[in-house]
Amino acid sequence: MADDKSYKTERGNAGERHQLATGDTQAMTTNFGVPISDNQNSLKAGARGPTLLEDFVLREKIFHFDHERIPERIVHARGSAAHGYFECTDPIPEISRASLFAEKGKKTPVFTRFSTVAGGAGSVDTPRDVRGFAVKFYTDEGNWDLVGNNIPVFFIQDAIKFPDLIHSVKMEADRAYPQAGSAHDTFWDFVSLMPETLHTLIWAMSDRGIPRSLRMMEGFGVHTFKLVNAQGEEQFCKFHWRPKLGTQSFIWDESAKAQGADNDFHRRDLWEAIERGDYPEWELALQIFDQDLADSLPYDVLDATKIIPEEVVPLRVVGRMVLDRNPDNFFAETEQSAFLPSNVVPGIDFTDDPLLQGRLFSYLDTQKSRLGTTNFHQIPVNAPKCPFANMQRDGMMQTMIFKGRANYEPNSLNDAGEDPGPRPVEAGFHTAEQRVEGKKLRIRPESFADHYSQPRLYWNSVTDNERAHIASAITFELSKVSLDHVRERVLSHLRVLHEDLGRRVADGLGIELPEAAEPAKAPIDLDVSDALSIQKNWPATLEGRQIAILFDEGSSKSEIESLKSAVESAGGTAMLVAPKVGGIPLDQGEMTADGQLAGSPSVLFDAVALVLTGDAAQKLAKNSAAIGFVSDAYAHLKAIGASEGAQALLDKAGVEKDDGVTDIAGLLEAAKLRYWDREPKLRDLA
């Protein structure tokens, strides 16, 4: 066989060549700017011969590819982010001199990343987990990173326990499963040995652990921080993000099925909302209080396992965050973004919360192993948008070219007419003054000892249905635990938290309720806080909701079109679903669908409409995807609006009439809610 013959495809075996001049910005080049003439074939000795080491085009391309991945975050590896702005709506210069709070209407750019905690970067979006809620404010006095979660408390009180907590929840060390889930021995072993985890645990086991959308989650700074004004006066502060769309959640079966239907459910939802101009929005609200108030509370404000109920210290809304731009490049921006709780600006300061103090070290440190260089602050997403200058020099991947000799401070090079470089300024960051004295001790303060009162407060504050979800979630997770003594120890704590919870989980598992644990400090009953419940505060709105309209041959075109436009004018989105996506003949003309029935199950939507003729419904009553579409919508407590013809499908799916099951006209109202009362008819809850 001749070794210099090549075959010709339509475009030629060298792929498409463009008539571009060398140096044109569209010309493909190597990383060093050498124009590339052929991006299809490596350089060989003869057409079928060995590839030559000399091929710098091939070697550079493969070399770069081989090193494309960087270590994923040890926690919060899976995340999605967007750009936007913070707008101050109620300035608070008397409380904080932070520039973003200075004037009404002032806008500060932000980059916000949401994440799950336990799963790897390629894991799914909807497991039961805490969600990260990290906001980088590019203020004009430097970057402030508010690195929070969607749950206002944390599992542990002291940073020294963090590696243990995370080791226990991540996939088990020998078998490398489960991925992205807490329903396994090691996690429950750890939490049962550390009752301080109980408060966050009950939040995570509630519907807070399965948010419907990243756009429908609250966010919390978790720790108590300090705000400092220009006179140096300080107050304590807890930060809250409140979603404009209200806090909404899945129910467990739905979130588990959403995972199968769409791994990227939350990521896609965020991306698409921003692309269609439906910008997610949150209010920033502050709980501001002083030392006297802190001293009056029956818990310690430095303990990150405690909230201060809104009823005790009300929220003051100071601004809003709008996310209005998707990243241009996931890796460059979302993956390389580095959030550091140690990034504070003048006007914001830390407290002695021992969890926060540990975080101040960890986040800077982790960037070196993740991004590989101390110069990670020069990556565009991490760089401040205000000028920055100091005497730090060199290091791997240095991109800044410093001029002159001034790389130390103080210097007197200006006396010789040279540029002396940056100097510290009086208006710079001053740490809030605080008297510190005491013995060096490796202990927990006694004021951190009560681990049961606040989880009991949570249990007492939510609705009956939410309580049933909590008890069922714990029952489910413990059913996956294989070690009897671990289950028993969990139950012994749940009994102290609330006898009812312990009993319901024991019943759900079918095991005896063990002796109650002996708390270090006896719990007290705190006043119920309605703000803690999702269901008590569920917004009756179509805004942000996705409605599926299932149709088939012969469906009424006008009914579909008028429903779609009514949903959209109420701020929702409507997606057309049919057995086939191509043109489907209707009563008049034809229509294409946005999604095929088998690939668009109802878990992807908040409510469903069935615009079907009697014949179509008869046919679909024999189609498992159609039956599942309806029976899942019903089981997930969603509104179902059905045309008269759809009855055969409703019957087959076992749908019984209730407030959430209406005709098409009634759906617009019904779709604003979920039907919690339906649930006890459908499944056994603990």
Q: Which two tokens stand for residue 370?
A: 């993740």
Could you say which of 29, 259, 362, 535 contacts ligand HDE (CB under 6 A)? 362
Catalytic pick among 13, 39, 64, 76: 76
In the sheet that holds 639-642, the strands lie side by side as: 595-596, 573-578, 546-551, 607-611, 639-642, 661-662
The verdict on 575 binding ligand HDE (CB under 6 A) reads no
Q: Report the C-alpha gap between 352 and 236 in whole angstroms.
A: 12
The verdict on 119 binding ligand HDE (CB under 6 A) reads no
Q: Report the C-alpha gap between 337 and 357 in whole angstroms.
A: 21
Min. distance of Cβ 277 from ligand HDE in angstroms? 25
The verdict on 547 binding ligand HDE (CB under 6 A) reads no
The verdict on 159 binding ligand HDE (CB under 6 A) reads yes
Min. distance of Cβ 217 from ligand HDE in angstroms? 12
Min. distance of Cβ 218 from ligand HDE in angstroms? 13
The verdict on 597 binding ligand HDE (CB under 6 A) reads no
Helix (H, G, I), strand (E, B) or coil at 237: strand
Min. distance of Cβ 180 from ligand HDE in angstroms? 15
Residues 6+ away with beta carbon under 8 Å from 167: 173, 186
Residues 6+ away with beta carbon under 8 Å from 156: 162, 165, 194, 196, 197, 304, 305, 355
CB nearer to ligand HDE: pick between 221 and 628: 221
Min. distance of Cβ 153 from ligand HDE in angstroms? 9
Q: Which two tokens stand for residue 81?
A: 């982010």
CB nearer to ligand HDE: pick between 115 and 192: 115
The verdict on 147 binding ligand HDE (CB under 6 A) reads yes
Detail the residues annotated as belonging to a binding site: 73, 113, 162, 359, 363, 370
Residues 6+ away with beta carbon under 8 Å from 376: 336, 338, 367, 368, 382
Residues 6+ away with beta carbon under 8 Å from 643: 555, 556, 559, 610, 611, 612, 613, 663, 664
Taking Cα atoms as reference points, which of 151, 33, 83 lies closest to residue 323? Answer: 83
149 labelled catalytic: yes
Taking Cα atoms as reference points, which of 207, 201, 202, 174 lies closest to residue 187? Answer: 201
Q: Do 373 and 397 contact (CB within 8 A), yes or no?
A: yes
Q: Which two tokens stand for residue 274?
A: 């921003």
CB nearer to ligand HDE: pick between 304 and 478: 304
**Amino acid found at 475:** T
> CA angle, corner 612, sides to 608 and 615, nearest 5?
145
Could you say which of 284, 344, 345, 355 contacts ligand HDE (CB under 6 A)? 355
Min. distance of Cβ 350 from ligand HDE in angstroms? 13
Q: Return the residue nearest ligand HDE (CB atom).
A: 132
Catalytic pick among 149, 150, 382, 465: 149
Detail the residues annotated as belonging to a binding site for heme: 73, 113, 162, 359, 363, 370
CB nearer to ligand HDE: pick between 363 and 538: 363
The verdict on 182 binding ligand HDE (CB under 6 A) reads no
The residue assigned the tokens 């590819």 is 65
Could you say which of 118, 124, 302, 338 contacts ligand HDE (CB under 6 A)? 338
CB nearer to ligand HDE: pick between 135 and 593: 135
The verdict on 149 binding ligand HDE (CB under 6 A) reads yes
The verdict on 113 binding ligand HDE (CB under 6 A) reads yes
The verdict on 89 binding ligand HDE (CB under 6 A) reads no
167 labelled catalytic: no
**Number of residues binding to ligand HDE, judged by CB under 6 A:** 26
Residues 6+ away with beta carbon under 8 Å from 569: none
Q: Report the C-alpha gap between 489 and 359 in whole angstroms.
A: 30
Taking Cα atoms as reference points, which of 121, 412, 416, 94 lies closest to residue 230? Answer: 94
Catalytically active residues, by annotation: 76, 149
Which residues contribute to the site for ligand HDE (CB under 6 A)? 73-76, 79, 113, 115, 132, 134, 147-149, 154, 159, 162, 222, 304, 337-339, 355, 358-359, 362-363, 366
